[in-house]
Structure 1
Amino acid sequence: MKLFRSLTLLLFLMLTTQCFSNVSLPSIFSDNMVLQRNADVKIWGWAKPGEEIKIKVSWDEKELTTKPLKTSYWEIILSTPDIRGAQEITISGYNEVKLKNVLLGEVWLVSGQSNMEWSANSGIDNAEEEIANARNNQIRFYTVANKTAECPQQDLDGNWEASTPQTMKYFSAIAYFFGRKMNEELNVPIGLINSTWGGTPAEVWMPEEIIKNNETLSKAAKLIPDVEWGPRKPASIYNAMIAPIIPFKIKGILWYQGESNTDNADYYETIFSSLINSWREKWNEDLPFYYAQIAPYDYGEGFSGVKVRDAQRRVLKLPNTGMVMTSDIGNIKNIHPSNKIDVGLRFANLALTESYGKKLHPYAPLFERAEADGKNLKIYFKYNERLYLDKQNTNSQFEIAGTDRKFYPAKVSIKNDVVVLRSSKVKKPMYVRYSWGNTSTSNIFNHVGLPASSFTTEY
């Protein structure tokens, strides 16, 4: 038995040495990839310890060198300019790896659950035409295969490929429409890394220690029911589908998730804030984090859906975050609304404005403050230029309450872009909530036609 164990160990060591005796790279470094332009980009991989690794790039005459650690791991920083055209990267040791057709542009990670995962092939508006017109060599896709792991992994299953009708139809539709708009506006290549899994709560996308070391998050995680269609163990997807990407240089993150956290909606602000902070900490960068507010949907009795929406609104307190609205393009009877084009375009408009200095007016009205004025309550919004009620749906969605916190429908008027509320049943209004229901669809818009977020001041 001891001899068998010794031989097994020897065989394992031989195989391990053989695996890393030649230069090898994670799959995210491959032909057709997009690297972030105008940046210091880390390239890493494995090779035999002590082996000299030489790196040569087509955009620079200098040759860089490094040596692996005793663990076989090596890394090096490449400075990327803002140039067009296909590039090559050659990495040499005992063998040679050549990365061809590499573009320098803008790289975004898209993640979340099914609405971000949803592809044109799954059913979207105008799918046939959009698929047919999807050929664009300046947009590149990398799809992370669905996997879980008990601990953080070093590599992924995936490969880079250009946008074609065949590849686009199975890729995230929102990400594609985002990328197409970005490519049109910036005239640079766009790289999109798609790491999504339908039906998953935020807890599975977070590092394990974040939940384990936080009593509130641990309590919240226990409220997520077990299901057949996806993992529920905290960190299990993060370990396999996010950790191996880090520290690949990206410009920012797009996120669409929350429907699977309606079971612990009261904790979602803490959950989501913790996820954003943990990813930024792992990347060691205050990355732009833009997310979609989930659309109204019939989750049954109670306020679980709208509580998640309001939590997402409150997470905007974190710096360098932004939220796109979906309430006006959702479907209360279908948790997967078919209008993915507008979601992608709204993400793009937000990113172009916040991350690239464009002026595209991407902001929806956001509750700012409430002021009592006798029997009236005045509601002030940010981004409130030319605030108006939807002519097809003018019924008030505002409710107000006094010290007893009993809410009553309020009459609504808009004066100088300020909402004025009043109810005969509330003599001294103190609290207000708006569009406060799982299926409530906002009916207040600003001058760019974006709907106000639901909110409550009760908490």
Structure 2
Amino acid sequence: MRRLRIIEPVPNSSYHQVDHFTRDMPMKTSSVCFTFAVLTTMLISSVAHADVRLPGFFSDHMVLQQQSKIKIWGWSDAGDEVTVSIGENSAVATTNDDGKWQVELAPMEASKTPVSLVVKGGHNEIKLTDLLIGEVWLCSGQSNMEWTVARSVNAEQEIAAADYPLIRHIKIPREPSSTPVEDLNATWQVCSPKTAGNFTACGYFMARKLAKELDVPVGLINSSWGGTRVEPWTPPVGFEKVEALKSIHESVIGRTPGSATFKSKLSSFIADSEKWLAEAKDSLERGLSIGSPPEYPGSLKPYTSHQDPTMLYNGMIHGMVGFPIRGAIWYQGESNHNEGMLYFEKKKALINGWRELWGQGDFPFYFVQIAPYQYGNEDPSILARFWEAQAETTTLPKVEMVVINDIATLNDIHPPNKQDVGLRLANLALKFDYGKAEVVALSPEVESHSVENGNLKVRFKNVGGGLKTRDGNAPTHFEIVGKGSNGFQPATASFEGDAVIVLKSEKVSDPTAFRFAWDKLAEPNLTGGTGLPVGACRGGKVPGFLDVIPVGEYDLVYELNLAKLGDQIKYDRNNSASIGAFDRIGYLLELNSSEYGDQKLFVTMDAFTDNVKAIGVPTVESKAVFQQKVSGLEVFANSKTIKTGKIGEGNIEFWPNNYGPGNGSGVPGASGQKFDFGDTFADPEAGYGSMQVHNFKAKQTLFAINHWSQGNSADIGIGNGTGDHSDWTFSSSGSKYSAKKLRIYVRQK
């Protein structure tokens, strides 16, 4: 005999059990068994109920935000009554038609005494234990936020001493999603030597300081992912409110099922597909060929990469939105560092988007300015402009920044000293959120500047007892610029009182602007009285390129829009007839392109000819053929890749001829194998054409204008070429410039 238990429904939605006995039946009576099994399944499913449940990140050991309404939510059967309580603090909710319920418990004060959270539904009860009431901080960003205690300096000692049971940590799994995820699964951990090694180091060291100072529990929600950009962490509403990010918002909404854009594009695709199907059927019947079907629009396809906009917000943030927090800390930017001020717009979208959805007003948002780092051969000022964009973010309400240029590791993008990072974040919170007004938490910042007696004075605020240097030496990494100076020049800096720096340079007689730490490798020594470092900054009006070059000493001979190059050179301005004897010649080349940027170069030299007709583009008609060294070479440029200043000796290669890579004139250092700063002209005379000036000692082409017969596709460039040949030969680069102008000057005797 085999015993079967049948569950029979009764009117009050409970059930009772009826026992039956039957003989074992042969397997061949499968139809009877199948019918019975189906009936049993139907009976069971008719009374199945969903258990009440909480979000997956609600677990034992969690921390709930003090002095804030405690929002708790979950899921159950529609219409179920759910009771939620923490001790005597309780509330009741009814599950809506979508199966979701939510309550708000009354605010509670911080407590080190563990409490339990009890949730009772119609069919089950949940009890979470060892909960604490205290301070909750969201920790997000890329690898430097994800960086663990175990990988920080003094890791072994830090982990051994990590006996702080009032600190709790939860790591949200790395799970991108193209749609908002309502439930996040993770488990809270109690801080101990067994667990702390895997905590976010920035968050842990911040929490340790807060727990000691405030004597309250601290909870850390670690939702971070190494190498990520800011866009995937940002919700759609964040992009929507920033005009500069309109295209990102349109891309997001265009991929969102149900949006008007999505419906419109999908409807058009369906209509085109139906039309094609009709034509295909007709072609099939008539034995005719037909073209390919319409391709599904890429703008409708969901994002797939974790680096795509909204993907990490959807998968790692959305499910906890509304869970009460004190604020957020953020360490990210390395993956966006080449975007300049656009990053400020993106941070604005992130912060305002989170705040709007969280519904807690302008909760505090504290972030870390990324550290100096090599970033390969990248322009040294790119990172400086990014630091400026990060600093601009502090113009948003309740947003502050930690500067860490004093604890960088130039060859490691992950500075392991996270202790000071966490401490500085904690001090921001202590000062602005926890009533510790006496705490000096902000780095010194520029307040104003002025020019007095030929010196530039910079006044700082937030000096914390007065400016000083870490090493006791004069402040480093200051530069100034003025009219007539060859770009920014290193400045001697000295203190004047507690908050003023005096800047001067023998090379700048009339300073108009300054900059500080304006280089990706800058580790300046200037600090406030408490040791907090001063971040990269600049001020004043930088003179235009024409203001900082000594062009006023020269007379214009020729001006040529290089877009008009061709077999015949026709200058836009030609003053050669009015020029007398001269002792120096100057070439000013201005180029602009999306690939190379805004480039300007002014190079002067002692006159290499007394024939003013021969200093322009070396055409056959001009009889200009010069393959020689020049003296008195001085270079002005707006790019740090070009060696500027008084170079002394250089060489020129001016001719209308063809030429080869052989180093016929024996220019020191030239290859003889590739076209560079040492080539040899050849027949025919009316050939390819070269107009090049070189700093051969630095193995550097200063500028090149070759093959001008090709008009807009001539070889044009400032500095060494980016292709196989440093002198731009065969580059056809002229078409890449939106603006290109050459001016030729002489200094008359």
Shorter-chain TM-score above 0.5 = yes
Task: Name the counterpart of 1:309.
Answer: 387
Which residue does 1:67 correspond to in 2?
94
Distance 1:137 1:151, change over 3 A: same
Q: Structure 2 residue aligned with 1:379, among 451, 455, 458?
A: 458
Q: How far off its partner does 1:220 sit?
A: 8.5
C-alpha distance in 1 between matches for 2:476 and 2:132: 51
User: Are the counterparts in 1 of residues 55 and 185 from structure 2 also a CA contact under 8 Å?
Assistant: no
| Structure 1 residue 245, shift from structure 2 partner | 1.2
Residues 247-295 of structure 1 deviation map (CA, whole Å, 9 limit, x = unaligned):
0000011111111112323411111122111111111221100111111
CA distance in 2, matches of 1:176, 1:389: 29
Is the contact made by 1:139 and 1:191 (CA closer than 8 Å) also made in structure 2? yes
Decide which of 173, 178, 181 is 2:206's aligned counterpart: 178
**Are 1:391 and 2:444 an aligned pair?**
no
SS of the aligned residue for 1:430 comes to strand
Structure 1 residues 37-96: Cα deviation after superposition (integer angstroms, max 9, x where no partner): 1211111111111111112221x2x64211011111111111232233011121111211
Task: Quote the Cα distance in structure 1 between the aligned partners of 2:93 and 2:248.
Answer: 45
Q: Tell me, in whole angstroms, the C-alpha distance in 2 between the residues paired with 1:422 and 1:445.
A: 20
Tell me the CA shift for residue 369 of structure 1. 2.0
Q: Kindly report the root-mean-square deviation, in angstroms, between the aligned alpha carbons of the 2 structures.
A: 2.4
Superposition map of 1:19-418 within 5 A: 21-58=50-87, 60=88, 63-82=90-109, 83-94=111-122, 95-121=124-150, 123-211=151-239, 214=242, 216-217=244-245, 231-284=306-359, 285-300=361-376, 301-302=378-379, 303-358=381-436, 359-384=438-463, 385-391=465-471, 394=474, 396-402=476-482, 406-416=487-497, 417-418=499-500
Greater Cα shift, 261-270 or 433-442: 261-270
TM-aligned CA deviation for residue 410 of structure 1:
1.8
Asked if structure 2 preserves the Cα contact closer than 8 Å seen for 1:140 and 1:163, the reply is yes
Secondary structure at 2:245's aligned position in 1? helix
Aligned partners of 2:141 and 2:332 also within 8 Å: yes
Find the residue that maps to 1:270 and give its secondary structure: helix
Structure 1: runs of 5 or more not aligned = 1-10, 222-229
3-state SS of 1:414 partner: strand
Deviations 1:20-40 (A, max 9, x none): 822111122221110011211
1:265 alignment partner, SS class: coil
Q: What is the aligned length? A: 435
Gaps of 5+ in 2: 1-40, 250-304, 542-749
Question: Percent identity of the aligned residues?
Answer: 39
Correspondence 1:428 to 2:428: no
CA change 1:213–1:363 in 2 (3 A) is closer
Assess, with a 3 A threshold, how the Cα gap between structure 1 residues 153 and 403 changes in structure 2: closer, same or farther. Answer: farther
Where 1:39 maps in the other structure, the secondary structure is coil
Q: Conserved in 1, the CA contact under 8 Å of 2:140 and 2:328? A: yes
Amino acid at match of 1:184: K
Letter of the 2:216 partner, please give it: V
Q: Hey, what's the Cα distance between the residues in 1 that align with 2:528 and 2:189?
A: 39
Q: Distance in 1 between matches of 2:489 and 2:218?
A: 49
Structure index of larger Rg: 2
Q: Which residue of 1 aligns with 2:607?
A: none
Q: Secondary structure at the match of 2:169?
A: strand
Question: 1:214 Cα shift?
Answer: 4.8
- Is this contact kept in 2: 1:403–1:430, CA < 8 A? yes
**In 1, Cα distance between equivalents of 2:238 and 2:400:** 23
- In the aligned structure 2, how far is the partner of 1:216 from the partner of 1:458? 26
CA contact (8 A) 1:378 1:421 kept: yes
Distance 1:439 1:238 in 2: 33
* Secondary structure class of the residue paired with 1:308: helix
1:220-262 deviations in Å (ceiling 9; x for gaps):
89xxxxxxxx832011111111111100000011111111112
Post-superposition offset of 1:392: 6.2
SS in 2 for 1:165: coil
In structure 2, the residue matched to 1:440 is: 522
Structure 1 distance, partners of 2:72, 2:242, is: 33
Q: Which has the higher contact order (CA 8 A, sep 6+)?
A: 1
Q: 1:87 to 1:403 in 2, by over 3 A?
A: farther
Amino acid at match of 1:25: L
Distance in 2, matches of 1:403 and 1:335, equals 38
Q: TM-score, normalised by structure 2?
A: 0.55
Residue 312 (structure 1) shift: 1.3
Q: 1:204 & 1:371 partners in 2: Cα distance?
A: 43
Shift, 1:374, TM fit: 4.2
Q: Secondary structure at the match of 1:329?
A: coil
Can you list the C-alpha shifts for 1:357-407, whole angstroms capped at 9, x where unaligned? 112212211122222224222111111232123436646311122368932
Give the equivalent residue in structure 2 for 1:456: 538
Partners of 1:88 and 1:335 in 2: how far apart? Answer: 42
SS of 2:69's equivalent in the other structure is: strand
Between the aligned partners of 1:275 and 1:403, the Cα distance in structure 2 is 41
Distance, in Å, in 2 between the alignment partners of 1:397 and 1:418 is 16
Q: CA deviation at 1:349?
A: 1.4
Q: CA deviation at 1:336?
A: 0.7
Shift of 1:211: 3.3
Deviation string for 1:311-361 (max 9, x for gaps)?
111211111111112111111111111111111111111111111011221
Q: What letter matches 1:330 in structure 2?
A: A
SS of alignment partner, residue 223 of structure 2: strand
Q: Residue 65 of structure 1 aligns to which amino acid in structure 2?
A: V
Q: State whether residues 241 and 349 of structure 2, in contact with CA within 8 Å, keep that contact through their aligned partners in structure 1.
A: no
Work out whether 1:419 is the aligned partner of 2:495. no
Distance 1:180 1:80, change over 3 A: same
d(CA) in 2 for partners of 1:64 and 1:364?
A: 45
The aligned runs of 1:11-22 (5 Å cut-off) are: 21-22=50-51
Shift in alpha-carbon separation, 1:367–1:447, aligned structure 2, 3 A: same
One-letter amino acid matched to 1:29: F
- Give 3-state SS (helix, strand or coil) of 1:295's partner: coil
CA contact (8 A) 2:444 2:527 kept: yes
Give SS of 2:198's match: coil
CA distance in 2, matches of 1:430, 1:236: 46
Q: Any conservation in 1 of the 2:169–2:221 contact (CA below 8 Å)? A: yes
Q: Could you say which residue in structure 2 is the equivalent of 1:227?
A: none
In structure 1, how many angstroms separate the alpha carbons of the residues matched to 2:510 and 2:121? 77
CA shift for structure 1 position 425:
3.4
Contact 2:63 2:132 in 1 (8 A): yes
- TM-score, length-scaled by structure 1: 0.89
CA shift, 1:136, in A, is 2.0
